[in-house]
Structure formats: C-alpha cells, structure tokens
Amino acid sequence: MALPWRLLLPLALSGALGRRGAAQGCIPPPAAYNAALGRPASQSSVFPNCSIAANAVDGNRDGAWPHGSCARTLEEPEPWWAVDLGARHAVAAVLVQNRRDCCWEQLQGAQVHVGDAGGERASSNPLCGTIADAGPGSLSAVCCHGLRGRYVSVLLPGRTAALALCEVEVLLQGCAPPPGAPNAARGRPAAQSSTLDGRSLAANAVDGDGDGDWERGSCSRTEQQPEPWWRVDLGRRRAVHAVTLANRRDCCWQSLVGAQVHVGDSPADGGKRNPLCGAVLDVGPGSASTVCCRGLPGRYVSVVIPGRVDALALCEVEVTARSCVPPPGGKDTGAGDAAFPATPRGNGSGEVPNSPLRGSGVTLGIAARGPAAPNLALRRPAAQSSTAPRAGAAANAVDGHRDGAWRQGSCSQTAREPEPWWTVDLGRRRAVAAVVVRNRLDCCWHRLKGARVHVGDSLAAHGTGNPVCGTITDTGPGSTSTVCCRGLRGRYVSIAVPGREERLSLCEVEVLEEGCAPLPGAPNAALGRPAAQSSVLDATSGAGNAVDGSRDGAWARGSCAHTLEEPEPWWRVDLGARRAVYAVLVQNRRDCCWEQLKGAEVRVGDSPDARGRRHGVCGIITDAGPGSLSAVCCHGLRGRYVSVLLPGRTAALALCEVEVLLQGCAPLPGAPNVARDQWATQSSTAASSGAAAKAVDGNRDGVWQRGSCSHTRRERQPWWAVDLGARHAVWAVLVQNRRDCCWERLRGARVHVGDAAGERASSNPVCGVITDAGPGSLSTVCCEGLQGRYVSVSIPGREEQLALCEVEVYGTSSGW
C-alpha cells in the first residue's frame, strides 16, 4: 500500500513512539517511500502455519499473528529476517511493526542492519540501530541516516527466541514510482527549442537508452541559447508521480543544475508556463536526478533551464504515472476480494469436497483501463517440480482458463515438497511487462503467499537463479496478483516458493509483453494502397515501394520509398476508409543511413493534410538500427490516413515497408465482453446443469460435465439467445464449442443480431455461420457493427442438440 509518508508519519511517530517514551528522534524525510513492499524476503526458519518472511512486506500492519500477516521464526539462537531491495539504496529509516496479541517483548533489543551481504550473512552488515520501544503493537522507527545497502535485516542478537515481525518498511529519501509504474514517456513524441545536430534529437531522450555518452547518439541536446527547453507529449492527461532525468557523463553535466521540471496541459512556449514540479540540484557525471511531482496532472512534461544562456542535454527522461494493470478477465484483488464468501480450509489434501464455488465471479471494466498486451504464456510448454495426483499438470496454468476451483481441472499443483517451482518456456527472449498469477478460489489460497516470480534465460535451478520480478503478497480466495517486471528480458518465467515446504498451485499464469506485437491473423490494411510522399529521390524510390509487401531493406533493390534530403520529410498511405489501427510496423533500411529514421513520428487521422500535423500521434520510432522492424502501438486510433514524419529537422526519409495492422473482426485486447453475465434463454434445457446462463458465465471450459456449458434437448431448430440489456453495434461474436464429444453438432449454426427477443431472435439478421466446428473449437463470427439488443445462436433446418460452452459478444453503441 502506498502511504503519504510526508503527511502521516510525523503524526504517527510523534504519537505512537512518544507515548512509549522511546522515540528515536527519527522522522522520515518528505516524500520518503517504502522500498521493501513486495520485495523478496527470507528468514532463519519458518514457524508452522503461514508465518513466512513475505508476510512482513505485504503492506499490512495488522499486529495479530493469527490473522496471517506476520512473519515468525522458530524459537532458535539469534533468529534473523532480511529483505532484498533489489539494488543498493540510501536508507533513511526502517519502521518495524510489532505483534499486539502477545509476545511483543521478544522484539526488545532487535538490531536493524543495512548493507550488501544477503541472507544469513546480512547480520554482519553495518548496524542502523536497536529497537528499544517494544510494546503491544509498537511501531518502531530506526534511523539509518542514509546508510547504503541492498539488504535490510532484523536480528535478535545473543539469545534464543522467536522473531516475529508484522511489517517492515524501509524508507528511502526522495520519491519513487509506485510498484510497477511504467515509463509513460518512452517512445512518445518529443520536441525541443533547437537541435544541435542530427544525432542530438529530442526523441533520443525517450528511446529507453540511458547511455550518458553524447557521442553514442542517445542523448538529446539543444544549441547554446537563452532558456533552452525540451518537452514530451504523454498523449493524454496523466497524474505524474515523478520525473527522472539522466545526465551526461562524458562532459558538461553541470549544465543541468537548476533545470526545472514542469507538468501541465499547455504545449505553449515549451511548457514553461505549466506548473512547476521542482528543480534539479544533484548533478554529477551520469547522475540520475528524480524530481517528485506527487500526482501533478498534465499531458506535457517539460524540462527548462531558466534565466540563463546554456545548452540542454538529456540522455533519458522517464515519467512515472501509474502502475501496471492486469489483462482482460480478472482484477487485482489486493489481499483478496470481498465479493468472495468465506470458504472452508479443506482437508489435509488441500481439497474442499463438494465446494459450491464455481469460477471467480469477478468481472473487470477493461474499457477504462485501455488495451492490454497479449498473453505470451498461453499454451506454451510448462513444467513443474512434481505433479499432484488427479489433474494437476503444469500445462493447466497456461490453458487460458482462469477457473480457480482446482477440482474443475484448470489449475496446476505440485506435491508437498521443499521449495516447489513451476516454469513456462516463452519460446524466445521477450521483454516482460508483467506476470499475472491467478490463485485458487476453493481453498488453500494462502500457500501462494511469498512465491517469487523470476524472468531470465537460464533453466539452472529450474529458473530460480534468474532475476526476481517481485513477490506475491496479496493472496486471498481467487486472488489475481499482478507482478510488474518493467521490461525484464528472458525466455523463461518461473514461479517458486522459497525457503519452505509447500504445495504450489497456479490456476493461470499470464505473461504480458512490453509494447505491442502483431496480432495473429491481423490484416495489413496498407498493402497495395495509394501512397504519397513529400518528394522522390529517383524513379526507383516511389512512395508505393513501402506498401508493396516486400520487407527487403536494401534500397538498391528497388523496394524502399525514399525522399530527398529536405525539411521535415513525410510519407502517407490512404487506407481507403476510416479504420481502427492496432499497430504500425516500419521496416528500416539495412544497407546504410538507418539512423535517419530515429525520431520519426507515426500519425493516424482523417485529414489528407500532407504532413498529418492534425492527426493523432501513435508514437515515435526509437529503435532505428540496420534493418530494424519497429512496431508502433496505436491501440485502436481511428483514421483513414497513416503518415510517417521526421519532425523538426532536415533529413531524408527512407521506408522499406510500412504495414498497418487492424484487428479485423476479432476483439481488440481489452475490449469488454458485453454478453458476460447477461440474461440468457434457450429453446429447452437438457438438464439442470445445462442452463442457458452457463454460456455467459465467463468460463470457456469445453467439458460439459464440468457444468459450464448450456445444452438444449434434441429438437427441431434449437436456439439460444442473450439479452445485452441495450442496443449495441456488434463487431464480433466468439463461440466456444464442446471438446469432450459431439462438437460436430455446432457445424452450420447461425449467429443473429437484432431487436427481436426469445424464439423470435432467430429471425434477426444473420452475422455469419459457424463452419469450423472441431473439438473445443473457438469460432469468431464477424458482425461488422450490426445493431441490436439480442444475439442468438440457432441450428436451422434440422433436428439437433445445441450446446454452447461460452458465447462472447464484443461491441459498443459507437463501435471501437
């Protein structure tokens, strides 16, 4: 949990500590934050019944040990606990929450250490201080005065006892992004007051490369001028938490001293008139200065050197605005979800006989969150340390099915063993934005607490030697935990329970990639379409070469478009109609001059204006290398024209292929399923377990006996219909078939959309016909915006049984 330390801690500490007469005179500085939250933790031993080390960094200060949020060791000589902050930090203070139910006196005399030695060696690190104010539920503040280290440990020296910690918070000076906050500036359009030369573009400061050597071409730089400025457009209004500026390290770093950071909605005058976050004071060679904005809202972030003539050089600017979010179909439940009823803990095997809970019952308003990245783990090869009997295979965790009831057969589970693990092979090295882990709903959800998520390229130690993204601390019935990896790269994603004997059960693991990737089957809307450009180098360099279907990056072979060297060259393709653009792929030259594409803007809009200046910006190309293929995410931005522009400089624009990817009729990632949990009816019901509502319960399980498929009796022209509750423009209908038997029955079924209800719904206009009926087939029927309140599926002209294991309807009143 993120707390406003600058407001709460002086009051909390002056009250809580002062009352006990043992205050250490330590008040955390303004904007201090908790660097231990959710980080990997370990301890000398684990007391039975959920007393793991991770409990002390779960963000919960509940001091009652039976409530399951306190770490606790066995009674042993000199017990210890340690947390890995992930990097070396200057620690301002450590806050330790004591037990309040009993045994609080055991914490008296505990030592807090900070340093670079980990695990059991952490007690040899330098000492911050000692806890002297141990009382019932005491909150002790130990001052470390900037002591630096990666590990913070708590030790009971010189005696045999049990160490119990209900929360440990490590406060650092300054501000930092909330856990998982992405860099909102990366790849966004940037501008500056002037540009020194062709390798000093404004875009260099948002290319993701913080190399502080200007000569290497990853720093922006203006000319020497009065009050130079640099500005990035975040694309929409954001609540900006912090801005981090990477300085030059080769020379001239002192020029950044006094630079001001502004955030606001006006791009005028470089953004100088927008509200001020703060100024850069701590410059040095290659320094990374963080300016705290504490939620200041605005679309533009600017850096200005006020009141003097100077040059402004920025080797990277990172803007943190919000946390990473889970993908469609679930939500972050924190420490559980209040929507879930209390569930019995089950028997010794961890199962709950005859559990009434079926699925999560959780829905998510994804439209407000925006599109989500595709799941890289879906149906990829998976393995685990062992497999529990009765359908606990590793592959169950990547089957695309989030059902949290283990008996439904969609959760992996190991045997009870020391340090169980699970891993998935993504097939190649990927940049991982986040890992989403679905917990069990029926029982035993506490087992997942403290599990670590690793990403890397090694299978040594089953992937547990790879870097740690984070720790799962928010376990509750059916919880969905999002662990932010912030672009950590690797082929393997592993989940392991460290330091104890446990069963590891995972009901779904989803791995989300940073950026966007071409969707399977997404059509290229630019192929062969009319194209134009600002000028033509020669007869073999026409604009049409960039939409000829050839990605050959050698200009001499005649498949690249190429302008003259001129101010702000541009290229544009006419898609023929207004389309929702998912992504634009741009193929660069590979024979020479590839660096000229760096900083190019991709725009989408409806005006044939040459440069597309009035069009919306999808993003900018930052990864220009020999033959690079850049994917610029547009996330459904609509327009007839797609243009590529080199802003603010004189250069030649060369494009060897431009591909404009549309979603087609499949739903965009994150589009809401408007049929979910809506009122459904059918012509008849085969049995009590085949009710019409089963086809809109959010569960795609294709085995009818597991109770998530609708089913009619055998009859003439059976039908099923769902009431969307209001009229919608329907773009796609997905129909999940049975996979256990009888799948051929669905062949020839028609999908209708219209305003007639019930049995009359089969008279509504037809979207399409299901032809690909195979075991467990998922058929997508395109409706192209057909309007109606009711969507129905019927089998015309024959006697049949109609079984539907899920029907998903994607559309809105105004389209996507």
> Which amino acid makes up residue 512?
L
First to last CA, the chain: 35
Are 89 and 172 in contact by the 8 Å Cβ rule? The answer is yes
Strand runs labelled E in 57-163: 71-72, 76-77, 80-97, 111-115, 127-130, 139-155, 160-161
Confidence of residue 714 (pLDDT cuts 50, 70, 90): very high
pLDDT > 60? residue 796: yes
pLDDT > 70? residue 162: yes
Spatial distance between the Cα atoms of 130 and 117, rounded to a whole number of angstroms: 19
**pLDDT of 354:** 26
* pLDDT tens sequence across 66-79: 888 899 999 999 99
Backbone angles phi, psi at 573, to 5 degrees: -120, 140
- pLDDT > 70 in the chain, percent: 84
pLDDT > 50? residue 6: no
| Three-state SS annotation for 520-579 | CCCCECCCCCCEEECCCCCCCCCHHHHHCCCCCCCHHHCCCEECCCEECCEEEEEEEEEE
Tell me the helices (H) and strands (E) count for the chain, helix number first: 2, 51
pLDDT > 60? residue 187: yes
**pLDDT of 27:** 54
Residue with tokens 């999940």: 736
> Which amino acid makes up residue 435?
V
- C-alpha distances (whole Å) from 800 to each of 129, 691, 718, 738 are 77, 17, 7, 15
**pLDDT of 482:** 81
Give me the half-sphere count of Cα atoms (radius 13 Å) on the Cβ side of residue 355: 26
**pLDDT of 103:** 92
At 761, list the tokens. Answer: 């719904």
> Which amino acid makes up residue 465?
G
* pLDDT tens sequence across 736-784: 999 899 888 998 888 999 998 888 888 888 887 787 677 888 887 877 6
117 Cβ neighbours under 8 A, 6+ residues apart: 124, 125, 151
pLDDT > 60? residue 730: yes
**pLDDT of 487:** 72
**pLDDT of 210:** 82
For residue 714, the Cα-to-chain-centroid distance in whole angstroms is 46
248 Cβ neighbours under 8 A, 6+ residues apart: 212, 213, 214, 219, 256, 285, 286, 313, 315
**pLDDT of 670:** 59
pLDDT > 80? residue 174: no
* pLDDT tens sequence across 198-215: 888 998 999 888 888 988
**pLDDT of 665:** 63
Q: Which candidate, 797, 639, 773, places its Cα nearest to that of 702?
A: 773
pLDDT > 50? residue 264: yes
Spatial distance between the Cα atoms of 327 and 426, rounded to a whole number of angstroms: 18
| Neighbour-count burial for 430-465, b at 16+ CB within 10 Å, e otherwise | bbbbbbbbbbbbbbbbbbbbbbbbbbbebbeebbbe
* pLDDT tens sequence across 479-490: 888 887 867 888
* pLDDT tens sequence across 319-334: 987 545 443 333 333 3
pLDDT > 80? residue 91: yes
Taking residues 434-453, report their average pLDDT. 89
Mean pLDDT of the chain: 81
Backbone angles phi, psi at 745, to 5 degrees: -60, -30
**pLDDT of 110:** 94
Choose the weakest-confidence range: 33-37, 215-219, 658-662, 798-802. Answer: 33-37
More confident residue, 373 or 562: 562
pLDDT > 70? residue 287: yes
**pLDDT of 515:** 61
Confidence of residue 177 (pLDDT cuts 50, 70, 90): low
DSSP state of 673: B
Confidence of residue 181 (pLDDT cuts 50, 70, 90): low
Choose the weakest-confidence range: 14-23, 318-327, 579-588. Answer: 14-23
Are 449 and 463 in contact by the 8 Å Cβ rule? The answer is no
Q: Please give the domain boundaries of the chain with CATH numbers for all domains.
A: 5-172 (2.60.120.260), 190-320 (2.60.120.260), 374-513 (2.60.120.260), 531-662 (2.60.120.260), 679-812 (2.60.120.260)
* pLDDT tens sequence across 24-41: 446 554 445 688 888 888
Residue with tokens 């019944």: 49
Choose the weakest-confidence range: 376-390, 409-423, 599-613, 691-705. Answer: 599-613
More confident residue, 345 or 722: 722
Confidence of residue 92 (pLDDT cuts 50, 70, 90): confident
Q: Which candidate, 474, 439, 447, places its Cα nearest to that of 357?
A: 439
pTM listed for this prediction: 0.46
Are 454 and 508 in contact by the 8 Å Cβ rule? The answer is no
**pLDDT of 689:** 81
Backbone angles phi, psi at 556, to 5 degrees: -65, -15
Confidence of residue 368 (pLDDT cuts 50, 70, 90): very low
Q: Which candidate, 486, 404, 439, places its Cα nearest to that of 334?
A: 439
| Three-state SS annotation for 311-367 | CCEECEEEEECCCCCCCCCCCECCCCCCCCCCCCCCCCCCCCCCCCCCCCCCCCCHH
Q: Which candidate, 456, 460, 484, 458, places its Cα nearest to that of 472?
A: 484
**pLDDT of 778:** 85
* pLDDT tens sequence across 663-682: 556 565 556 789 998 999 99
Which helix (H) or strand (E) segment holds residue 708: the answer is: none
More confident residue, 472 or 783: 472
Give me the half-sphere count of Cα atoms (radius 13 Å) on the Cβ side of residue 689: 8
Taking residues 45-49, report their average pLDDT. 83
Choose the weakest-confidence range: 220-234, 274-288, 508-522, 720-734. Answer: 508-522
- C-alpha distances (whole Å) from 365 to each of 368, 369, 403, 641, 674 are 6, 7, 19, 30, 10
Confidence of residue 173 (pLDDT cuts 50, 70, 90): low
- At residue 155's C-alpha, the angle toward residues 154 and 158, to 5°, is 165
Q: Which candidate, 741, 739, 807, 799, places its Cα nearest to that of 770?
A: 807
Taking residues 449-475, report their average pLDDT. 87
pLDDT > 70? residue 518: no
| Neighbour-count burial for 342-355, b at 16+ CB within 10 Å, e otherwise | ebeebeeebbbeeb
- pLDDT > 90 in the chain, percent: 39
Residue with tokens 């994150």: 670
Spatial distance between the Cα atoms of 745 and 795, rounded to a whole number of angstroms: 9
Query: Cβ atoms within 10 A of the Cβ of 334, count?
Result: 17
More confident residue, 648 or 561: 561
Taking residues 561-585, report their average pLDDT. 91
